[in-house]
Amino acid sequence: MVEGEGERGHYRYGSRERSGVVLSIIVPTYNESENIPHLLRSIRDGLEAKLQRIDSSAEVIIVDDGSPDGTAEVAERHSNMAERLRIRVLRRHSRRDLLSAVLDGLNTAEGSNIVVMDADLSHPPSLIPTMLDELMHDRCDLVIASRYVDGGSVAEWSIRRKALSISANMLARTILNLKVKDAVSGFFACRRWVLEGVNFTTSGYKILLELLVKADNIRVKEIPYTFVNRSHGKSKFSARVAIDYMRAVWMLYRYGRKRRVERRGSVLFLSRAARFYTVGASGLAVNYGVASIANLLLSNMHIATLAGILCSITSNFILNKLWTFEDTDLAILHVLRQYAYYVGLSSVGGVLQFTLTHLLSSIYGMQYNIALILAIGVASMWNFLSNKKWTFREKVWG
């Protein structure tokens, strides 16, 4: 089961997974009435024995966009075709894009695994049991039926369509830095949570592409197949699809870049914090060292203590400026202003620690040592964040 609900734009998913349903095959259709009977029969023939063996059932979800050729009616006529294979038809009233068809199918799917495929028999249904095996034996989370691994191919495509597909694939793989060979396959199988975990924002044909970019920590496997041209009906591939595709690649590229920057932001924050507290620890040593030496030389305890404090604040400031926050602006007025800020804010930290310790131990009756630890924690957090923001003029986060 998936925890909670996923949200994707206007789609909201409550998982309808049902035990005993091992697989949902989602097939978007538009004017595929001639292909549907053949498709459903081959799915059944390929899957029946396996379902019997594992004592489970599966479903095919036809997501039809009001095809005028009666695709939905043809599919409904086959709904009692097999005992373990349920055929469901999801009718949408007007033509919308392919991605939203798949997501609407997913929304009503009950299987713990999902297959996405075309209706026109370009994607051989005989491959489905193999794909399911890969998932059930936990060899991966996503299986891509691939034209571009050894053993895979495309039959009977025109040179033009071949070139288009190969360059579309290459473009995506380089720009988006993908490892898989066929990133634009329309035929794949995955665990249900893989699809449910992605917030899809592109439209059109590029479901797999967006999945590969956004779910980047899943285990992916490619198995070869031969894409055969449809023998009935017309391809819906068009210039519009190609333009949508370019836009999707561009959007996903920007998405990846933004995420890399954000990631760097958190790394930056943590490395700044680590340096800041290392400097703080070095300050303790400076404080102690200077005070004891000064006491030896001057034999005046109070002046020695003061010297220790002043030296450690100053050395902390210098190290934090040059090392922690990598600020190399040495203009004298600028440095003096920063120093004043640093001393001021750190003093506020000292007062904060003092007050908090008093408050927690005397007024709320907390044990002194625990109160002290809490107060030191709060004060040093204050010191880091306030100096990051006001002394060194950085964003608090990042």
92-111: contacts with ligand GDD (CB under 6 A): 95, 97-98, 101
Task: Determine phi and psi for 299, rounding to 5 degrees.
Answer: 40, 45
| Residue of the chain from 148, 193, 200, 205 that contacts ligand GDD (CB under 6 A) | 205
CB 338 within 8 A of CB 392: yes
Instruction: Name every residue whose Cβ is closer than 8 Å to that of residue 375 and which is 6 or more positions away in sequence.
Output: 352, 353, 354, 356, 357, 360
Stretch that binds Mn ion, among 26-34, 118-126, 239-247, 356-364 (CB under 5 A): 118-126
Instruction: Verify binding: residue 184, ligand GDD, rule CB under 6 A.
Output: yes
Region of residue 198 (left: phi > 0; alpha: psi -120 to 50; beta: else): beta
Nearest to 307 by CA among 295, 320, 299, 321: 295
From the CB of 122, what's the least distance to Mn ion, in Å?
4
DSSP label at 152?
Answer: -
From the CB of 107, what's the least distance to Mn ion, in Å?
24
Instruction: Verify binding: residue 29, Mn ion, rule CB under 5 A.
Output: no
From the CB of 82, what's the least distance to ligand GDD, in Å?
21
From the CB of 176, what's the least distance to ligand GDD, in Å?
15
Closer CB to ligand GDD, 98 or 313, in the complex: 98
The span from the CA of 19 to the CA of 42, in Å, is 25
Instruction: Verify binding: residue 120, Mn ion, rule CB under 5 A.
Output: yes
Stretch that binds ligand GDD, among 91-99, 130-138, 190-198, 302-310 (CB under 6 A): 91-99
Q: How many CB atoms lie within 10 A of CB 247?
A: 14
From the CB of 95, what's the least distance to Mn ion, in Å?
16
Instruction: Verify binding: residue 122, Mn ion, rule CB under 5 A.
Output: yes
Region of residue 4 (left: phi > 0; alpha: psi -120 to 50; beta: else): left
DSSP label at 94?
Answer: S
Query: Three-state SS for 199?
Result: coil
From the CB of 51, what's the least distance to ligand GDD, in Å?
23
Q: Which residues form the interface with ligand GDD (CB under 6 A)?
A: 28-30, 32, 63-65, 95, 97-98, 101, 118-120, 122, 165, 184, 186, 205, 235-237
Q: Which residues form the interface with Mn ion (CB under 5 A)?
A: 118, 120, 122
